[in-house]
Each structure stands twice: as C-alpha cells, then as structure tokens.
Amino acid sequence: MKRFIEHQELARDRRFIRQANIAADLLATMPDDVNAVVDLFEKIGPVIEAGTRGTAAEPLYDRFGPAFTLMTLNEPIRPGEPGTEDRLKMRMHGIYVGELQALEGAGRSLWDFPDAPWEFKMNMARQCWDEARHVQIFEKLLEHVGGEVGMYAESTFLFEAACADDPALRVAGVNRALEGLACDVFRDNIEFAKQSDDELMEQSMDYVLADELTHVRFGSEWVAEFCKDDPERLKRARDFRRETDRRFNFGGARSNEEGAAIPIAWEDRKFAGFTEEELEDLAALGGEGPSRATMKQAIEILVSRFQAGSAIDEEVAS
C-alpha cells in the first residue's frame, strides 16, 4: 500500500454522493464586497446545482438558487426558526461526513508515518477508535433529526485541506484546524440542544466534544514536539494551520463576532492547548473576507435574481 493518498481516493459505499466544494475555497479569498460575492455565486451556480441533484438539497436549490449554501452557512441555527429543520439535517450530515474524514485522516497518519514516535502512533490509534465512535454517534443523531446518510452530497475538502505529507503539518491541519473547527461546531450545537431541550443530543455531543478536545491537545503537543528544534518547521506548521483555518471560516461564518453562525469555542480551545495569541489570530482571520452584512445583501440579490429568472423560464415554457 502506498503512502499518502489524494482526497479523491477516499472510498465510499453507494449511498454517498461526492461534490467538489469550490464555494468554501473561493470564499476564503473573497473581498468584503457584495458584487464580488454575487458574481462568484452566479458563476459557480451550475456546480452548486449539480451537487444538489438527486439529494435532499434539490428543492432548496430550486427555491433559492446557488445562494442556498450561503443561507445555510451564514446564519446561526435557532430552534423554531424557518428552515431550522433542514439546516439541522444538513449540519448533522456535514458533521457525519466530517467525522468519517477525521477517522480516515487519523488512520492515514498511522500508515503514512511509520517512523513516527510510538506515543504518536498510540495517540493516532486512539483517535481512530474515537472517530469511529463519532461516526456511529452522528449516524444516530442524523436519524434523530429525521435525516439519513447520503441525503446530501459530501465534499471531502476537510480531508483535502487538512492532510499534509509532513507529520507536523498533518497534525497542525487535522488535529488543530479540523478538530478545532469540530469543537466550535459542537459547542454551538450543544447550546442549540439545550435551547431545544434535546437531552439526547446535548449529552452525546458533550462526550464527543470531550474527545475532540483530547484530539486538539494531541495536535498541540505533537506540533510542539515535532518542531522543537526547528523554528522553520514550526513556522510552516503554523502557516499551514492558518491557511487551513482560513478555509474553514467559510467566508466569516465562523468568527468571534456577535451572532456568528459558528462562534469560536474560545474556552474549550484554550483548554486544548490553543494560546490566547493563536485565538486572537483565529478571530482576526474570521474577520477577513466578506462580513455577515455583505453576505446577507449578496444572498438577497442572488435569491431575487434567481427567482426572477425562474419566473421568466416558466413563462417562456408556458
């Protein structure tokens, strides 16, 4: 078996539909400009549409057009609000496939780095078991909110963005950026579960969050260990993690701002070895790119243009 694989090589059974996630990548480099966001999403509309065909997101695309991805990302999920049910299913599905990719990432760290220290292998092996349990937990939570595996397309961009060939960069990407994102999302979802009196979700997610903090800690400790005599390597690991985090901000959807769709889990992250300085930096990254207000405006324009276009199409057809 070769060492290092591409994200296209991740194997799935036939329930899964694969989709390229160009939206998150492009958003990472977008300026804070309404027209730029509108142009971009109109341009990549066909790709977004293709990713929804044959999935539960198809009706959402038909109704809102390419902006539906932004709508699901940009606003926090609150119990009882319109669209919450669909967005919750989407989020659970997103977490489920994220856990699968985290499982695969941890497993590949065992195979890709055969000469790594034994303690590192123990940590990665433990992570394999934890992520395997998380996959099982989120399969159940997905059912709990009325969803099922394969109902939405899967983008493997988490694996793609986080996996690197240098073990220091790999743990920086997978264990600090990807797992850190998981902490943010889980903390937010635990709050959601509390507000909805959903004890089943609250408790199981809290256990998962405890595991994820352990994984982030593995990352914090191994980056330090791998780079202890090599400031150049430390810088590369830090830059890689920053770049990965920039992509995981989804155009500012994750940030430290009031009302962010995914707030940064500050205290949890500190517990897992993030320094105050790193967290400030992460918050600053979240502030780059389009603001929430920009996104909101862009969404309005995109939706009204899409709906106007659909109305014309219908007229022509009739």
Partner 1 sequence: MTETRMYPGTGKDERTTFAPYSAFDIPQDLRELHGRYDVETTARRVRNFRYAEEWMMMMLGGWLATVPEVPVKTGLGKIIWEGARAADEFGKRLPELRCGKRAAESSEAGNQAFADFIQEVAAPETPDLSIEKLAGVFDVLKPHLLGLYERHMRETDQIADAPTIEILEDIARKTERHIAWGHEVLDRLCDTDAKRQRRHARQRELTELLEKSGGVTGELALDH
State how far the Cα of 38 lies from the Cα of 302, in Å rounded to an integer.
6
For position 174 contacting partner 1 by CB under 8 A, the verdict is no
Among 1-9, 79-87, 128-136, 199-207, which window interacts with Fe ion (CB under 5 A)?
Answer: 128-136
Query: Which among Fe ion, partner 1, none contacts residue 107 (Cβ within 5 to 8 A by kind)?
Result: partner 1
**Which residues are within 8 A (CB) of 3 and not within 5 positions of it... i.e. 6 or more apart?**
111, 112
Q: Which amino acid is at 261?
A: A
Structure tokens at 129: 């078991």
For position 125 contacting partner 1 by CB under 8 A, the verdict is yes
CA 82 to chain centroid: 23
Q: Which amino acid is at 206?
A: D
Q: In the complex with Fe ion, which residue's Cβ is closer, 70 or 265?
A: 265
CA distances in angstroms from 65 to 3, 10, 38, 70, 125, listed in the order given: 41, 29, 12, 10, 43
Among positive and negative, which fits the CA dihedral 187, 268, 293, 38? negative
Question: Cβ of residue 13: shortest distance to partner 1, in angstroms?
Answer: 5
Question: Cβ of residue 105: shortest distance to partner 1, in angstroms?
Answer: 8
* Binding residues with partner 1: total (CB under 8 A): 36
Q: Token pair 């352990």 is at which residue? A: 214
Question: Cβ of residue 240: shortest distance to Fe ion, in angstroms?
Answer: 18
Among positions 89, 215, 217, 292, the unique one binding Fe ion when judged by CB under 5 A: 215
Among 9-17, 68-76, 83-91, 285-293, which window interacts with partner 1 (CB under 8 A)?
Answer: 9-17
For position 124 contacting partner 1 by CB under 8 A, the verdict is yes
In the region spanning residues 41 to 100, those forming contacts with partner 1, defined by CB under 8 A, are: 100
State how far the Cα of 215 lies from the Cα of 171, in Å rounded to an integer.
9
Structure tokens at 62: 């038909």
3-state helix, strand and coil shares in percent for the chain, rounded to the nearest 5 = 70, 5, 25
* Binding residues with Fe ion: total (CB under 5 A): 7
State how far the Cα of 206 lies from the Cα of 208, in Å rounded to an integer.
5
Query: Which among Fe ion, partner 1, none contacts residue 309 (Cβ within 5 to 8 A by kind)?
Result: none
Question: Cβ of residue 186: shortest distance to partner 1, in angstroms?
Answer: 19
Positions touching partner 1 (CB under 8 A) are 1-2, 5, 9-13, 100, 103-104, 106-112, 114, 117-118, 121-122, 124-126, 128-133, 135-136, 139, 149
Positions touching Fe ion (CB under 5 A) are 99, 102, 131, 134, 179, 212, 215
